[in-house]
Amino acid sequence: MKIIYKGVFKNNEQLPVGDLPSGAVKFDEPDSIIALSVVASIFIIPAAILVGAVLMFSSWLHGGLAIEFDLLTIFIASLLALLTVVPHELLHAVCFGKDAEVEVYVAPKQMSAFVVSTHPVSKSRFIFLSLLPNIVFGWLPLVVWAFLPQQGFLMNVFFIFSISCILFGIGDYLNAFNAARQMPKGSMQQLSGFHSYWFMP
């Protein structure tokens, strides 16, 4: 696998164009990062429901919740979550496979980063690579937090860190949802420009 840092993302013309096979179908998805962020924000609702379920379980397990918020806790947790941006994108990148060439971009205005590769991957692999960083940095820490004694500064930081990482990955949920809903069984996904396409091998 080859990872290439491409710098600041300014427009879609910067993105690599894939050699798409005949009959490739473009995903029904937003045409810009801003539009993508707006549409993806819908996934805050199911994410909040799942977080609520984890909180209810933790409350049942420990006989109540002991979460405290203050500026220092929020600042440290948010800073730690920001430090996961690079590892988050690297997890996406490695999932494309050893033969892939992956480009990394940063979008300061949207306070985000993203990776693209024109290397085709299977439907299940694309869903997995979309969700893996959110699972590793968001959902797994939250589940671990739910089982541990909650009192104390570090546990409050741990909780806010996990929630922040879950929210950072909202755009990835949209990619996984589109793949699950639009790609037929056995199909392949490939990026070209800003958009994803699917085709049958």
State the alpha helices, DSSP H only, in the chain: 33-40, 44-62, 71-82, 85-94, 123-134, 140-147, 153-168, 170-182
> What pLDDT score was predicted for residue 151?
76
> What pLDDT score was predicted for residue 109?
78
> What pLDDT score was predicted for residue 124?
97
> What pLDDT score was predicted for residue 66?
82
> What pLDDT score was predicted for residue 114?
92
> What pLDDT score was predicted for residue 26?
97
Strand order in the sheet with 188-192: 25-26, 195-199, 188-192, 121-122
What is the signed CA dihedral for 11, 4, 100, 167, rounded to 10 degrees? -60
> What pLDDT score was predicted for residue 152?
85
The pTM of the full predicted model, rounded to 2 decimals, is: 0.92
Residues 6+ apart with CB under 8 A from 169: 88, 131, 133, 134, 137, 138
Q: Which residue has the tokens 């037929």?
A: 184
Mean pLDDT in consecutive groups of 10 residues from the start of the chain, 201 residues: 92 93 95 88 96 95 88 95 94 94 89 92 97 97 92 91 94 96 97 96 92
The structural domains of the chain, with segments of one domain joined by +, span: 2-7+31-199
